[in-house]
């Protein structure tokens, strides 16, 4: 968190690293790499943003970290989560790790929900996989988790179908579910891109609150430089599968080194810019 | 600015949809707006606020439930059938997703000339001779004319759509989230192109979007919508001095890359009841930090405020 400069893992005191990626590549059927020779690490309690335009490989990388690449994809290099090589883990170990130690929030959580089943039922199914609780205990836990993400009438939310909630509320349900087992690492794939700006601001605040309250390490994939700049300690910029620049957020914004990062920042339209003529 | 006659005017336009179970949804409520020749007016708001419904009303794809839509001095609100064809010539539209407006098997040249042919401005063979010029107008190489849509990028396709819209010299071009699907670098190029064309051909734009910074960058005036109502209207340069509580909240929610002070965003509680509440009063009242008791019972009208904006808010009256 504190150190500046490019951090391709100094293996000395990396015991605190939650995620270590070194010379990591992902390609589909041996074609051109979707992720090409990427290296960076994430320390405990950090918020990292991976930014880039569409097709830059940022989401593919996130799926690689989760161990959820399609079968046609092959990966090379080192990817260590919590100090262990992901590819050396069995399917079962990976499954336990997802959920218990890491969780993900998608762009539109609603699309990953069963449309004809109430929120409460789906929440309980998720808890049942990982915890042995009585129905009452589960209900209590669900209400508590929803209230923590500022959904005040939790009972009603649990009784609702996904379509009855707004996008922002569904996203908060997604965060509550992802946080249910207190994962150490939270991955978020464009968590605010489907939301309106006022709601986006709320979800960003919510994610930051997770870190300050529970010390959760968060990796956010986003195309929104403003969001990345606001919430993260460090920013990783990707283009065509490569990492072109990694730096503490402030440094990257104010003194970008790479030409692509500069162009990207240049293209962003801001409220206090000159209007186009 | 020296105000001429508006080229397009909405007078108390409303649109109500009826759902299958007979409920009425008022998508646009009593909207009034004037668009002057050669200007760009921006409409911003969040999803579901009615901005695209306004677009569909102006282009007369749907019928208004009430009010007048005046295009170049003529009310087009109740025109039907063949009489609408002239309206379709005068108002062109550019949508968010360029891929969805192309037939996958028709070449770019055919697509570009369809407008000219349909409106009887040229025959197909005459129009095809213009294709190179039209492509050049939007900074694309003339040889793209023989390509198929899937061979072009999203940004290139959007340029083609814009070229077709401009080709028939409409009175108004409606841009509905026209740059929202594009990557940032491409977005800026397309916005610059729109500005250049506006000057060259003295075009009039209605630019609809959800991104306040983007809309402000291109629009001369901005109308802010919330829940079917236009809640504030002002010059783009005065956006920072917005008065309506909703506009202020919007401004507060925009993340700026340069804002390293991390402006404070208070966390709002959300509940099911609030979201679905249909109130008699101001629709923003449940979320409004400045709400007065009276806001629950009366829906405010758009009025001139002390500082010369138009705003619909009881607290500002």
Q: Does residue B273 form part of some domain?
A: yes
pLDDT score at B257: 87
Question: Which residues in chain A touch residue B259, judged by CB atoms under 8 angstroms apart?
Answer: 226, 229-230
pLDDT score at B226: 92
CA distance B313 to chain A (A): 19
pLDDT digits (tens, 9 = 90+) for B37-67: 999 999 999 888 888 899 999 999 999 999 9
Q: Using the beta-carbon criterion (under 8 Å), do B267 and A230 form an inter-chain contact?
A: no
Strand B221-226 versus strand B40-44 pairing type: parallel
pLDDT score at A4: 40
Q: Does residue B110 form part of some domain?
A: yes
Q: Using the beta-carbon criterion (under 8 Å), do B267 and A273 form an inter-chain contact?
A: no
Beta carbons of B177 and B95 less than 8 angstroms apart: yes
Q: Does residue B2 form part of some domain?
A: no
Question: Which residues in chain A touch residue B195, judged by CB atoms under 8 angstroms apart?
Answer: 276-277
Average pLDDT, chain A: 88
Closest Cα to residue A8, out of A215, A274, A234, A272? A234
Q: What is the Cα–Cα distance from B41 to B206, expressed in whole angstroms? A: 5
Q: Does residue B1 form part of some domain?
A: no
Q: Does residue B3 form part of some domain?
A: no
CATH at B217: 3.40.50.300
Q: How many whole angstroms from its chain centre is CA B15?
A: 16
Q: What is the Cα–Cα distance from B227 to B19, expressed in whole angstroms? A: 17
Beta carbons of A124 and A142 less than 8 angstroms apart: yes
Would the pLDDT of A168 be above 90? no
- Could you say which DSSP state residue A80 is in? E
Strand B91-94 versus strand B310-311 pairing type: unpaired
pLDDT score at B262: 67
Q: How many residues appear in chain B?
A: 317
pLDDT score at B144: 95
* Opening angle at CA A107, ends A55 and A197, nearest 5: 105
Closest Cα to residue B34, out of B218, B221, B294, B200? B221
Q: Which residue in the set A166, A209, A269 is minimally distant from B213, CB to CB?
A: A269
Q: What sign results for the dihedral spanned by CA atoms B199, B201, B202, B204?
A: negative
Those residues with Cβ within 8 angstroms of residue B299's Cβ, 6 or more apart along the chain or in another chain? B29, B229, B280, B281, B282, B283
* Strand arrangement of the beta sheet that strand A47-51 belongs to: A102-105, A185-189, A217-222, A47-51, A234-239, A242-248
pLDDT digits (tens, 9 = 90+) for A68-126: 888 888 899 999 999 999 989 999 999 888 888 999 998 888 788 899 999 999 999 99
CA distance A68 to chain B (A): 26
The three-state secondary structure class of B106 is: coil
Q: Does residue B184 form part of some domain?
A: yes
Domain count, chain B: 1
Neighbour tally for B72: CB within 10 Å: 14
Closest Cα to residue A18, out of A40, A42, A46? A42
CA atoms within 13 A on the CB side of A169: 24
Tracing tokens 């579910």 back to the chain, one arrives at A177
Domain encompassing residue B285? 8-316
- Could you say which DSSP state residue B130 is in? H
Q: Does residue B147 form part of some domain?
A: yes
Mind spelling out the 3-state secondary structure of B182-240? CCHHHHHHHHHHHHHHHHHHCCCEEEEECCHHHHHHHCCEEEEEECCEEEEEEEHHHHH
Q: Which residue of A has its CA nearest to B195?
A: A277
Q: What is the Cα–Cα distance from A37 to A34, expressed in whole angstroms? A: 10
Q: Which residue in the set A164, A167, A227 is minimally distant from B255, CB to CB?
A: A227
Q: For chain A, how big is the Rg over CA atoms in Å?
A: 19
- Helix, strand, coil percent content, chain B, rounded in steps of 5: 40, 20, 40
Provide the phi-psi class of B139: left if phi over 0, else alpha when psi is between -120 and 50, else beta. Answer: left
Tracing tokens 């914004």 back to the chain, one arrives at A253
Q: Which residue in the set B236, B250, B257 is minimally distant from A268, CB to CB?
A: B257
Q: Which residue in the set A200, A270, A276 is minimally distant from B253, CB to CB?
A: A200
Beta-bridged to residue B225, according to DSSP, are B230
How large is the average pLDDT for residues A174-200? 88
* Helical segments of B12-153, H only: 51-58, 84-90, 108-118, 124-137
Q: Using the beta-carbon criterion (under 8 Å), do B254 and A226 form an inter-chain contact?
A: yes
Question: Which residues in chain B touch residue A167, judged by CB atoms under 8 angstroms apart?
Answer: 47
Strand A47-51 versus strand A73-81 pairing type: unpaired
Question: Which residues in chain B touch residue A227, judged by CB atoms under 8 angstroms apart?
Answer: 255
pLDDT digits (tens, 9 = 90+) for B189-210: 999 999 999 999 999 999 999 9
Q: Using the beta-carbon criterion (under 8 Å), do A202 and B268 form an inter-chain contact?
A: yes
Considering all CA atoms of chain B, what is the largest pairwise distance in Å, rounded to the nearest integer?
A: 66
Read off the tokens for B95. 């949508």
Tens of each residue's pLDDT in chain B, 317 residues: 455 799 999 999 999 998 888 888 889 999 999 999 999 999 999 888 888 899 999 999 999 999 999 999 999 999 988 889 989 999 999 998 888 899 999 999 999 999 999 999 999 999 999 999 999 999 999 999 999 999 999 999 999 999 999 999 999 999 999 998 898 889 999 999 999 999 999 999 999 999 999 999 999 999 999 989 999 999 999 999 999 999 999 998 888 887 766 677 777 777 765 444 555 788 888 888 888 988 888 888 889 888 888 999 988 87
CA distance A230 to chain B (A): 6
Q: Does residue B16 form part of some domain?
A: yes
Q: State the pLDDT confidence band at A2, using cuts at 50, 70 and 90.
A: very low
Euclidean distance between the first and final Cα of chain B, in Å?
26
């Amino acid at each position: 968190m504190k150190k500046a400069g490019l951090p391709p893992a100094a293996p000395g005191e990396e015991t605190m690293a939650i995620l270590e990626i070194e010379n990591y590549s992902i390609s589909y059927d041996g074609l051109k790499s979707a992720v090409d020779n990427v290296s960076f690490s994430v320390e405990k309690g950090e918020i990292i943003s991976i930014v880039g335009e569409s097709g830059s490989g940022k989401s593919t990388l996130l799926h690689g970290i989760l161990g959820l690449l399609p079968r046609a994809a092959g990966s090379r290099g080192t990817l260590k989560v919590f100090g262990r090589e992901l590819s050396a883990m069995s399917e079962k170990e990976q499954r336990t790790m997802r959920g218990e130690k890491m969780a993900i929030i998608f762009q539109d959580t609603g699309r990953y929900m069963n449309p004809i089943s109430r929120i409460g039922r789906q929440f309980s199914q998720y808890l049942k996989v990982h915890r042995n609780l009585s129905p009452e205990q589960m209900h209590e836990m669900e209400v508590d988790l929803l209230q923590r993400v500022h959904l005040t009438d939790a009972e009603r939310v649990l009784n609702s179908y996904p379509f009855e909630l707004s996008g922002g509320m569904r996203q908060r349900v997604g965060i509550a579910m992802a946080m249910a087992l207190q994962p150490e690492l939270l991955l978020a794939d464009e968590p605010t891109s489907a939301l309106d700006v006022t709601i986006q601001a709320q979800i960003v605040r919510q994610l930051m609150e997770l870190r300050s309250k529970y010390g959760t390490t968060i990796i956010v994939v986003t195309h929104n430089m403003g969001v990345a700049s606001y919430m993260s300690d460090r920013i990783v910029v990707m283009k065509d599968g490569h990492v072109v620049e990694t730096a503490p957020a402030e440094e990257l914004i104010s003194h970008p080194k790479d030409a692509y990062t500069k162009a990207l920042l240049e293209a962003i339209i801001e409220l206090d810019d000159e209007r186009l003529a | 600015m020296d105000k001429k006659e508006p080229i397009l005017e909405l007078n108390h336009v409303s649109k109500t949809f009826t759902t299958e179970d007979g409920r009425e949804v008022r998508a646009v409520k009593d909207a009034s707006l004037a668009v002057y020749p050669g200007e760009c007016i921006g409409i911003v708001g969040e999803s579901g606020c009615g901005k695209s419904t306004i677009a569909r009303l102006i282009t007369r794809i749907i019928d208004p439930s009430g009010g007048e839509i005046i295009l170049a001095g003529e009310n087009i609100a109740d025109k039907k059938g063949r009489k609408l064809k002239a309206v379709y010539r005068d108002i062109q539209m550019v949508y968010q997703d360029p891929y969805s407006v192309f037939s996958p098997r028709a070449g770019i040249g055919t697509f570009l000339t369809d407008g000219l042919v349909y409106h009887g401005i040229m025959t197909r063979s005459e129009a095809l001779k213009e294709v190179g010029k039209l492509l050049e107008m939007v900074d694309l190489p003339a040889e793209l004319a023989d390509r198929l849509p899937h061979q072009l990028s999203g940004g290139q396709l959007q340029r083609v759509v814009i070229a077709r819209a401009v080709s028939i010299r409409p009175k108004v071009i409606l841009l509905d989230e026209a740059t929202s699907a594009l990557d940032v670098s491409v977005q800026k190029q397309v916005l610059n192109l729109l500005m250049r064309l506006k000057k060259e051909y003295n075009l009039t734009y209605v630019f609809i979007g959800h991104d306040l910074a983007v809309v402000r960058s291109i629009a001369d005036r901005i109308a802010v919508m919330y829940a079917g109502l236009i809640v504030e209207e002002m010059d783009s340069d005065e956006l920072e001095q917005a008065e309506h509580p909703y506009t202020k909240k919007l401004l507060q929610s925009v993340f700026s890359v340069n804002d390293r002070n991390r402006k404070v965003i208070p966390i709002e509680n959300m509940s099911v009841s609030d979201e679905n509440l249909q109130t008699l009063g101001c629709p923003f009242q449940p979320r409004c930090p400045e709400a007065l008791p009276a806001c629950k019972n009366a829906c405010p009208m758009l009025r001139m405020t002390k500082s010369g904006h138009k705003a619909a808010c009881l607290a500002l009256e």
